[in-house]
Amino acid sequence: MPIKRKPHLSATFALLPTWFVAVVVFIGTMAWSIRLSFTNSTLFPSSTYVGFTQYVKLFYSAKWLASLQNVLIFGVLYVAGCLLLGFLLAAALDRKIRFESAFRTIFLYPYAMSFVVTGLIWQWMLNPTLGIQASVRSLGWETFVLDWVVNRDMAIYALVLAGVWQGAGLVMVIALAGMRGIEAEQWKAARIDGIPVWRIYVSIILPQLGPALAAAGMLLAMGVIKTYDIVVAMTNGGPGNSTEVPAKFIMDNLFGRQNLGLATAGATVLVLGVITAVAPFRYAIYMRNRAKGAA
Amino acid sequence: MKSMMKLLLTGAVFAGMFAPALADDKPTIEIMSSWTSGGEAAALDIIKTEFEKRGGVWKDSSIAGFGAADAAFQNRIVAGDPPGAKQGVIGLAAADFVGQGLFNPIDDVAAAGKWADALPKSIYDLISYDGKVYLAPTGAHGESWLFYSKEAFARAGIVEEPKTWDEFFAGLDKLKAAGIVPVAWGGQPWQQTKVFNMILLSQVGIDGFLKIYVDKDKSEASIEGIKKTLDIFGKLRGYVDDGAAGRNWNDATAMLITAKAGVQFMGDWAKGEFTVAGKEAGKDYGCMIVPESPGMVYIADSLWFPKTGDAGADKAQKLLAEVVMDPAIQVEFSLKKGSVPMRADVDKSKLDVCAQKGLELMTADNVVPDQAILLTPQQVGLLDDFVDEYWSGGSNDMASAAENFFAIFE
């Protein structure tokens, strides 16, 4: 049983501003947005309630449905790609190679760049008339094709490529820090047993990196929901709807299209999506802590 | 929210009262626009210079990008701290603001300057809401233009401007055969919608165009018109290069300037790019209204005047409205901006060949407004989606697409 504590008056006072921010700024604005999603607001908030009309419109919109599908594809591949590449880079640097710090800087460098810059760089490189395709063709390989950003079926993977290039460095640093924390004795013991290096990484190192990689994955996943700038810089949602994402849909409707009701409905759906994805984890952690507390 | 807005506005008024009385000496205005490119900034400067000459104080809050400027403006309005003037299109885009009572009418300035006589009636109607004038028009842009590189046409052996769409496509084939990119395509939704509209006007005529966009007429004739438009529009897919998707309009214009491409569909602001590159209309490049078109689509800019609750700013707004509609300023501004003056009674001799053609169509009232003037921003967005989906989806199913078109208005 947890011990019941008497709340300290001074502590409560000290926390008041934080409480104020949490309640008014976060929960308040969220409630305000949810309220608006049930109105027919266009440019300005209105108080004419229209029930679930905006949600019906939302899920009839091909653009919104495409954006949900895209963010799912992007999210899974981006997080998985970053974790895999980041781990491999960390393992490579962990082999006590020369110029390690130089490589570490190079691999981490993309993370220091904003998504807008990342998007622009990759847009130029993958643009068929300016980038890699044009330069390879000018070298003589006339049939070479690399047109991901302008190809409807490949554009979303171009985003993943750019995202992984940017985010892998972060995972590498976190994983490397984790690896450096692993005791050298384990290595010695594994060597004596004659276990191949790759097997040590997969079966001994990787399991111990669990928390570090989970933290990195969480950071990346939060970025996925907010994905906006890289899309705007790289493809602006095109060609067609092929790289449209929810955050961009919401921003477009909020400002460009003066459609507050639809935008807030989209935002509400997004919040609900995040809550349903995160709630089971939080619940599991809560239950585990309780079990520990009871023991 | 309305009462909330009032509260905020009252707050702004009180804040204004306690502010130092400095603003009372001279009419001061803070102007928010998205006119930041070379030609645009030079045009805005014409207004600024005259405004200052007449004793005003000018504070520039320009933000690059139409969308970014709009978002910033909306935030300032909601925060109760609107700028003194905002550049925006005439018509429905401003209707919500006027309806909420957020803008100052400039009826007295319009009456004193006899705007009703000087402006084409359609324009005058579009700057008035409930019988009162609210917006000061700066200039109109023709959007039915087909620009072509004379050098590319010469190399492909095209001697005459095409009169029909068949001749036009024959010309594109010749360009293709000569190894030139036939159409410099700007693959962004807003640009594609403009091309769709110019073709639509060429197929259904002025009355048909207004029927579709104003009356939302879904008759057989309208559906047939949309189908024919989509047919021509879809054919163009075969004449663009790989890099078309997402291309900026000025990058497309650059392809004409270097004679890498033959033609570009664009509004007359593209002339600014040619001028900067030292090219001359009628000599290095040609401008024509798209084939078979009986008139021209236009978009018109204006200045909006939000209520600031500051007497000095109110005075400045009236002064600014006068300056903007001054006949000499209208011409000077248009020369820099590449637009067509709004007033019919201006000196035409200074305008270039293309602008003269445009002004002729304008004064003969052979013009139809752009969708941004006729439709709400929500509908404009859906139209962009529709056109973009047809273009990049690669479908040729015109019948079902024509059905979808009318869903925009629902």
Q: Assess A259–B contact: CB distance below 8 Å, yes or no.
A: yes
What residues are paired with B347 via a beta bridge? none
**pLDDT score recorded for residue B49:** 92
Contact B244 A256 (CB under 8 A): no
Instruction: Give the number of C-alpha atoms closer than 13 A to the C-alpha of residue A246, restricted to the C-beta side.
Output: 24
Output the six-digit token pair for A40: 């027919």
Q: Based on the domain organization, do B266 and B313 belong to the same domain?
A: no
Percent of chain B surpassing pLDDT 90: 35
Q: What pLDDT shows up at residue B78?
A: 83
pLDDT band of B410, cuts 50, 70, 90: confident
The reply to whether residue B245 touches residue A238, judged by beta carbons under 8 angstroms, is: yes
Domain that holds residue B35: 2-140+299-369
- Cα distances from B199 to residues A239, A278, B146, B166, B194, in angstroms, run 22, 50, 11, 13, 9
**Do B290 and B305 belong to one domain?**
no
Report whether A84 contacts A163 (CB < 8 A). no
CB-nearest to A240 from B78, B241, B392 is: B392
| Domain count along chain B | 2
Q: Is residue B153 domain-shared with residue B82, that is, in the same domain?
A: no
Cβ B393–A62 below 8 Å, yes or no? Answer: no
The closest of A235, A239, A212 to A159, measured between CA atoms, is: A235
**pLDDT by residue (tens digit) across B230-266?**
999 999 999 998 888 888 888 899 999 999 999 999 9
Task: Evaluate whether B305 touches B84 at the Cβ level (below 8 Å).
Answer: yes
Chain B residue numbers touching A56 (CB-CB < 8 A):
none
| pLDDT confidence of residue B181 | 93
* pLDDT band, very low/low/confident/very high, at B16 (cuts 50, 70, 90): very low
Confidence of residue B361 (pLDDT cuts 50, 70, 90): confident
Kindly provide the ipTM of the predicted complex, given to two decimals: 0.78
CA dihedral A95, A96, A98, A101 (to 10 degrees): 100
Low-confidence residues of chain A: pLDDT under 50: none
User: Shortest CA distance to A214 belongs to which of A203, A224, A206?
Assistant: A206
SS3 (DSSP) at B217: coil
Token pair of B393 as six digits: 């989806």
Chain A residues near residue B100 by CB distance under 8 angstroms: 44
In whole numbers, what is the pLDDT of chain B averaged over residues?
86
Q: Verify that B347 and B364 share a domain, yes or no.
A: yes
The CATH label, of 3.30.1370.100, 1.10.3720.10, 3.20.20.80, 1.20.120.550, for the domain at A33-294 is 1.10.3720.10
Domains of chain A: which residue ranges? 33-294
d(CA B232, CA B239): 12
B218: exposed, middle or buried (C-beta count within 10 Å: 0-12, 13-18, 19+)?
Answer: middle
B123 and B36 in a single domain? The answer is yes
What are the CB-based long-range contacts (under 8 Å, 24+) for B330-334? Answer: B330/B138, B330/B139, B332/B46, B333/B43, B333/B46, B333/B47, B333/B138, B333/B139, B334/B43, B334/B139
In this prediction, residue B3 carries a pLDDT of 54
Same domain for B13 and B126? yes
For residue range B114-169, what is the model confidence (pLDDT) as tens digits? 888 888 888 888 899 988 999 999 988 889 999 999 999 999 988 888 999 999 99
pLDDT digits (tens, 9 = 90+) for B291-323: 999 999 999 899 999 998 888 888 899 999 999
**B247, B376: one domain:** yes
Are B241 and B338 part of one and the same domain? no
What CATH number is associated with residue B10? 3.40.190.10
B391 contacts on A by Cβ (under 8 Å) = 240
